[in-house]
């Protein structure tokens, strides 16, 4: 495990990947603490204790049968522990702008928050959109009660993130504020060396407030391996509304391990979209706790994988209070030797009668060598509920293809049109203005076999 200015990767083949990181922490804990805010440092002892005797999940671990995080995190990548300055230039950076949409934009270069010019002046009064380090120093009374409270330290990647994290981003929408412009966070890597970014995002939407957030993961190059290990904690207070879209457009060499924890209070509304347009190896985990009545939760996801790329999503919705509604829909299109996995769970507690909860996973295998693993689950401890789940994996409709070809449509074009139609309901669920149109364009490009991503999109 390399750090900026030194190398700590063991040559012992028997050492598991997690041990390399805990050894790194033991060797550099003073440097890590010295370059991080006190509120983050307070969380590290519990995280270190939680990791003792643990290993990163591999394909022998339940729930990870198709994705080994141990293998994902074994390669030697650099960590910017000493917080050395970056060479990132916003004027030449990956362009990530939405046509016909005005966003309030910032970058996370590795884990360093880089605002666009004049960002603070353009924020409504009371709204916080800044680095985690700055927020911890300036608004500790707002940050401390929330930071690290939702994140589950029994989850090894979450505990590892807590152990090593030094920065990230904070979004806070004060009570009664309705943020009209979406906030956009563009995650990128800087430099030409293999890198690891340990990012933390804290989102607080207070009572009767609303916000839209777009996060974009980009990688500029396929010549070196980058790993993002990120944890997001999102608080939706009473009557709050949050629309969050997480998009990934990264290279085949990229690896991503993401955790999203959400807490919903009475009358809150969550709409989340998890979009994988291109990736290397990706594992996304989402856990949504519905802690109040009359909540609405909608989680939609889509993944397009070709070559030997790999996308794995796990979504858990826990209904802990009565009279709430949740819906989950995930769709995959896999081609060549790509692999996909989905594991979804709905839990209805004894304290949650009159719950309505639905989950669906639908997948298309566009080649005979693509593979999909799916496991939807229901865990219900109350009789007064309406719940269902389902999964289906198949190939494109041959009759529809034949019909389209008899009408003069070339086979490749017909296949593209059918795959685009298959994804339409997930794309249509994106509520950020202008983004659904951009997604339609980008998915069409992917299905045509083009490698261009958002930064090169000619739709601008």
Each residue of 201-212: b (16+ CB within 10 Å) or e?
bbbbbbbbbbbb
User: Under a CB-based contact definition with an 8 Å cutoff, are residues 187 and 195 in contact?
Assistant: no
pLDDT at 396: 87
pLDDT at 93: 58
**In degrees rounded to 5, what are phi and psi of residue 52?**
-65, 130
In whole angstroms, give the CA distance from residue 387 to residue 318: 13
Q: Tokens 């261009």, residue?
A: 452
**In degrees rounded to 5, what are phi and psi of residue 129?**
-145, 95
In whole angstroms, give the CA distance from residue 279 to residue 221: 12
Helix segments in 243-348, DSSP class H: none
Per DSSP, 223 falls in state: S
Nearest CA-CA partner of 302 in 377, 258, 364, 357 = 364
User: Under a CB-based contact definition with an 8 Å cutoff, are residues 101 and 189 in contact?
Assistant: no
pTM: 0.94
User: Under a CB-based contact definition with an 8 Å cutoff, are residues 56 and 17 in contact?
Assistant: yes
Q: Which two tokens stand for residue 105?
A: 């934009």
What are the CA-CA distances from residue 237 to residues 130, 149, 207, 291, 294 (Å)?
A: 20, 14, 5, 10, 13
pLDDT at 405: 84
DSSP sequence for 167-213: EEEEEEE-TT-B--SPEEEEEE--SSS-EEEEEEEEEEE-TT-EEEE
One digit per residue, the tens of pLDDT, for the chain of length 460 reads 545 543 344 445 456 899 999 999 999 999 999 999 999 999 999 999 999 999 999 999 999 999 999 999 999 899 999 988 766 666 565 565 566 668 999 999 999 999 999 999 999 999 999 999 999 999 999 999 999 999 999 999 999 999 999 999 999 999 999 999 999 999 998 777 899 999 999 999 999 999 999 999 987 667 788 999 999 999 999 999 999 999 999 999 999 999 999 999 999 999 999 999 999 999 999 999 999 999 999 999 999 999 999 999 999 999 999 999 999 999 999 999 999 999 999 999 999 999 999 999 999 999 999 999 999 999 999 999 999 999 999 998 888 888 888 888 888 888 889 999 999 999 999 999 889 999 999 999 999 887 645 554 433 3
pLDDT at 399: 85
Beta bridge partners of 203: 171, 234
- Other residues' Cβ atoms within 10 Å of the Cβ of residue 180: 12
pLDDT at 12: 54
Sequence-distant (6+) residues with CB within 8 A of 5 are: 82
In whole angstroms, give the CA distance from residue 217 to residue 197: 12
């Amino acid at each position: 495990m390399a750090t900026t200015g030194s190398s700590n990767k063991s040559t012992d083949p028997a050492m598991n990947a997690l041990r390399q990181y805990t050894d790194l922490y033991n060797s550099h804990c003073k440097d890590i603490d010295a370059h991080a805010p006190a509120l983050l440092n307070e969380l590290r002892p519990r995280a270190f204790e939680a990791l003792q005797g643990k290993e990163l999940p591999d394909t022998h671990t339940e729930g990870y049968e198709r994705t080994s995080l141990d293998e994902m995190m074994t390669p030697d990548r650099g960590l910017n522990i000493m917080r050395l300055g970056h060479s990132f230039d916003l004027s030449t950076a990956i362009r990530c702008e939405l046509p016909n949409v005005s966003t309030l934009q910032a970058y996370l270069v590795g884990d360093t928050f880089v605002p666009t010019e004049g960002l603070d002046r353009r924020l409504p009064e009371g709204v916080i959109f800044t680095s985690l380090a700055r927020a911890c120093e300036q608004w500790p009374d707002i940050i401390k009660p929330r930071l690290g409270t939702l994140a589950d330290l029994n989850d090894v990647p979450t505990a590892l993130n807590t152990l090593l994290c030094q920065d990230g981003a904070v979004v806070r929408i004060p009570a009664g504020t309705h943020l009209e412009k979406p906030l956009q966070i563009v995650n990128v890597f800087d430099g030409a060396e293999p890198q690891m970014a340990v990012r933390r995002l804290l989102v607080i939407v207070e009572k009767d407030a609303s916000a839209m957030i777009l996060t974009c993961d980009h990688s500029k190059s396929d010549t070196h391996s980058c790993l993002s290990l990120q944890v997001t904690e999102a608080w939706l207070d009473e009557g709050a509304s949050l629309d969050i879209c997480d998009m990934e457009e990264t290279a085949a060499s990229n690896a991503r391990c993401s955790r999203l924890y959400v807490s919903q209070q009475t009358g809150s509304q969550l709409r989340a979209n998890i979009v994988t347009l291109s990736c290397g190896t990706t594992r996304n985990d989402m856990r949504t706790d519905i802690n109040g009545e009359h909540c609405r939760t909608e989680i939609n996801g889509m993944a397009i994988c070709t070559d030997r790329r790999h996308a794995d999503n796990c979504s858990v919705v826990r209904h802990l209070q009565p009279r709430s509604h949740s819906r989950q829909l995930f769709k995959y299109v896999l081609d060549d030797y790509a692999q996909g996995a989905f594991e979804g769970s709905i839990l209805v507690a004894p304290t949650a009668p009159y719950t309505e909860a639905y989950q669906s996973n639908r997948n298309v295998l566009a080649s005979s060598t693509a593979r999909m693993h799916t496991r939807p689950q229901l865990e219900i401890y109350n009789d007064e509920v309406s719940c269902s789940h389902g999964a289906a994996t198949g190939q494109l409709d041959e009759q529809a293809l034949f019909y389209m070809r008899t009408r003069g449509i070339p086979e490749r074009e017909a296949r593209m049109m059918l795959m685009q139609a298959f994804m339409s309901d997930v794309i249509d669920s994106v509520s950020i203005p202008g983004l659904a149109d951009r997604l339609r364009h980008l998915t069409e490009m992917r299905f045509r076999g083009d490698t261009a991503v958002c930064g090169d999109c000619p739709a601008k």
